[in-house]
Amino acid sequence: MTTRRTRGSAGRVGVVDGHGRAARAAANAGAPTLEFAARTPYDEYVGTEVLHDLQRTVTDAPEELAFLVTTQVMELYFGLLRSEWTLARRLLDEDDVTGATTVIGRSVRHFEALNAAWTALGWMTPAQFNSFRDELGEASGFQSSMYRHLEFLLGNKSEALIRPHRRDPRVHRELLDALSAPSLYDSTLALLGRRGFDIPVRQDLTAEYVPSPLVEAAWVAIYADQGPGDELWTLGEALTDLSERFSDWRYRHLMAVRRSMGAKPGSGGSSGLTWLERSLRREVFPELWSARTAM
């Protein structure tokens, strides 16, 4: 029997099972419940009051609210993806390939929703962005600590990129831990090594991943000898989907910047468009792509 936990206004956890819901529906003659002792369970669970209090614009420009809400939605998805990829990494370390592949596949769906968020800003012209951009000061998406966690989990590591967070001890410590921890791809390659493939051991997990001919050969063998239904083949395809969605994210980011501000310098001190173009050329899980040439 499936049960759902709900948290009441006093912080207590109540359980409502199928029988309880059926009884409530019968008592209400099919109508929704309209009376509660305190705030509605929905508002309490979702934290709607807190969420809607977070949209604190710094100008009167009507376009700014859409920009801020979209950015906050993206941050929520960053946190969700971090949780999913951390779980997938743990499952790979435990040799639960099917479980890890399921989580990675689920995260690809999250990424599709995240990428769609750029559409919400597709209407923004340079004039509209300029109506509030100066008031943002040096605030830039480049400074997102949660996005940096995603980059590290994907193997795009750089100690220099956590320096902006040195004044926030908790965030800085978490990023240092993430920098030294295995990436999702590191755990994947360790799994392949345990399965008998000749995989080089990475000596410095804090360094950015460098492609290896041995890893490429392993993926070529997996695709040549296996097929749909094999767990390593399926894992490779799930990681390829993830890599593709991440490339989509970078491309859509690039085009959103190009559309709203052209080639102007970025707010955070970068060259803006040129910086994003360089980032777009950095591949995630590179041997899964290069192996296709050798197949």
Domain-embedded: residue 205: yes
What are the binding residues for heme?
253
> Do 91 and 41 lie in a common domain?
no
User: How confident is the prediction for the chain on average, in pLDDT?
Assistant: 88
> Do 203 and 158 lie in a common domain?
yes
pLDDT at 82 (0 to 100): 97
Q: Who has greater pLDDT, 119 or 277?
A: 119
pLDDT at 10 (0 to 100): 42
**DSSP codes joined into one string, 44-70:** HHHTHHHHHT----SS--HHHHHHHHH
Domain-embedded: residue 128: yes
Domain-embedded: residue 56: no
Domain-embedded: residue 58: no
Domain-embedded: residue 107: yes
pLDDT digits (tens, 9 = 90+) for 173-222: 999 999 999 999 999 999 999 999 999 999 899 998 999 999 999 999 99
pLDDT at 189 (0 to 100): 98
> Do 68 and 47 lie in a common domain?
no
pLDDT at 238 (0 to 100): 98
Q: Any idea which of 101-105, 238-242, 267-271 has the lowest mean pLDDT?
A: 267-271
> Do 221 and 130 lie in a common domain?
yes
Residue that terminates a domain, selected from 30, 51, 72: 51
pLDDT at 269 over 70: no
> Do 38 and 177 lie in a common domain?
no
pLDDT at 11 (0 to 100): 46
pLDDT digits (tens, 9 = 90+) for 85-102: 999 999 999 999 999 999
Domain-embedded: residue 103: yes
For residue 207, the one-letter residue type is A
> Do 255 and 173 lie in a common domain?
yes
* Side-chain-side CA neighbours of residue 289 (13 Å): 11
Domain-embedded: residue 286: yes
Domain-embedded: residue 57: no
What are the binding residues?
133, 253
CATH code, domain with 121:
1.20.58.480
pLDDT-based confidence at 120, cuts 50/70/90? confident
> Do 25 and 129 lie in a common domain?
no
Q: Who has greater pLDDT, 225 or 104?
A: 104
Question: Tokens representing 88?
Answer: 């997938």
**DSSP codes joined into one string, 96-158:** -HHHHHHHHHHHHHHHHHHHHGGGGGTT--HHHHHHHHGGGTT--GGG-HHHHHHHHHTT---
Average pLDDT value for residue range 239-244: 97
pLDDT-based confidence at 31, cuts 50/70/90? confident
> Do 72 and 46 lie in a common domain?
no
pLDDT-based confidence at 275, cuts 50/70/90? low
> Do 116 and 258 lie in a common domain?
yes
Give 6's contacts (C-beta < 8 A, 6+ positions apart).
Answer: 13, 14, 15, 16, 41, 44, 45
> Do 45 and 186 lie in a common domain?
no
Total number of domains constituting the chain: 2
> Do 194 and 167 lie in a common domain?
yes
pLDDT at 155 over 80: yes
pLDDT at 49 (0 to 100): 93
> Do 46 and 72 lie in a common domain?
no
CB 153 within 8 A of CB 85: yes
User: In a 3-state reduction of DSSP, which class is residue 214?
Assistant: helix
Output the pTM of the full model. Answer: 0.88
pLDDT-based confidence at 270, cuts 50/70/90? low
What are the binding residues for substrate?
133
Q: Domain span at residue 230?
A: 63-294
